[in-house]
Structure formats: C-alpha cells, structure tokens
Amino acid sequence: MSEIVVQLEHVNIYQSGNLILQEVNFEVQKGEFVYLVGKTGTGKSSLLKSLYGEITLTEGQGNVVGFDLKQMDWKTLPFLRRNLGIVFQDFQLLTDRNVHENLRFVLKATGWQDEQLINQKINDVLAKVGLENKGFKMTFEMSGGEQQRVDIARALLNSPKLILADEPTGSLDPETSDEIMQILFQIAKEDGTAIIMATHDFMVVNKFPSRTLTTEGGRLVAKA
C-alpha cells in the first residue's frame, strides 16, 4: 500500500483576493519526485505556499503529510512545517555563523536539546549532501553550489516526509545544477522523501526526467 503524502481535491488558490489556480487536483506518493513547471506568474510559488500553509486554503480539500490544510492556524502550522523541508533559490542561510551553527540553530528552534544527538544529526545530513568536512566554514565563504547543499541539508534535519524546492538550481551553473539534482533524486529514492520541485529550467527537466505538472491558464495540468 503506497503512502499518499500530498492530496489536493477541487482546490482553488487565491492570493490577495485574486484567483490564481482553480480546480487543482493531484496526489504525490511517498518517495515520488514531481516537477512543477510553468512560466513566471502562473502560480507555481502560490501552490507551494499553499502546501506549507503560508497561503490559507479556503476552497477544496487539501492534506499534506497527514495535516488538513483547512485546519491550519498559528498553533498547528509549526507541526506541519516540522514534517516538511523547504529549499529556497536564495538559500536564506545565516551569514554570521558557520554551517554547523546554521544547522544547530534550526534543530534547537524545533525542540532538539541533546547536544550529542544534535551533532550526530548535523554530521548525518552534511554527509548526505557531500559536505562532511565543511561544518566549520562560514556560509558567505562558500560557492553557490555549496550553499545550496547546506540549504538541502537544513531541509533534511527533521527527516521530512516532503521537500518543497523552489527553483533550487535557478542561480547555479549547469554542472552544479546536475550535482544538486543527483542529490535530490538520491534523497527521494533512498529516504523515501517525496519532493516537489518548482522550476522553469527545462534543461534540468529533460536531463532528469520525472512526473511533471504544469501551471498554465490558471490550471494545473499533468504532462506525461
């Protein structure tokens, strides 16, 4: 029996009172890698924001990693987000501290207290993204590709069932993009983590083919 991580039915997504996407219906299974493609302004980011509760769901049914999106409020939202990993295009790392301290900050903020377990978890996620010996480095000293790896490591800290990646290769050169894609596909395969990746980089989509959903004309369309 496969596990459904994301399920949206008859969902309409609004931003600032405007209908952005209508009649959104899709499911994502455990360990599945799904692309979300479409031109800028067609609703990719709005859909991602709905999935992690930044945009409130008011019409239709939505369930993400066991949480009902319609029931989200300021009390329940942190529990949803603790089961998600979010990877940003602009990294959003803390520049005044090193890699290890960036990751420790997130674990402490989400309730981790045992320093031995914290260090072990940080070492585990850095190894997964190929940065085993880079914990001491200041983030501003790192290349864009290394910073994106740190961002992915941060997304893995609480062993999420779902990672939402918003243009994770958008500012990277092709070779570094390939390395990041290989890491993401490996995480989906080995950890069973579902990944939804918004992108408009069709070179990446063609090189690493997977199921693709497209935002166009106010709707979400499945492309084979």
Looking at the structure, do residues 104 and 9 belong to the same domain, yes or no?
no
Residue 37 falls inside a structural domain: yes
Which residue, among 196, 200, 201, has the nearest Cα to 211 in the 3D structure?
196
pLDDT band at residue 171 using 50, 70 and 90 as cut-offs = confident
Looking at the structure, do residues 15 and 36 belong to the same domain, yes or no?
yes
Q: How many residues does the chain have?
A: 224
Looking at the structure, do residues 167 and 117 belong to the same domain, yes or no?
no
**What tens digit of pLDDT does each residue of 9-40 get?**
999 999 888 999 999 999 999 999 999 998 88
Angle between helices 115-128 and 144-156 (to 10 degrees): 130
Looking at the structure, do residues 3 and 109 belong to the same domain, yes or no?
no
Cα–Cα–Cα angle for 110, 35, 148, rounded to 5 degrees? 50
- Interatomic CA distance for residues 8 and 57, integer angstroms: 10
Q: What is the pTM of this model?
A: 0.92
* 142 vs 92, more confident: 142
**What tens digit of pLDDT does each residue of 96-139 get?**
999 999 999 999 988 899 999 999 999 999 999 999 999 999 99
218 exposed, middle or buried (CB, 10 Å; 0-12, 13-18, 19+)?
Answer: middle
Residue 89 falls inside a structural domain: no
Give the range of the structural domain holding residue 39, as residue numbers without chain letter.
1-83+161-224
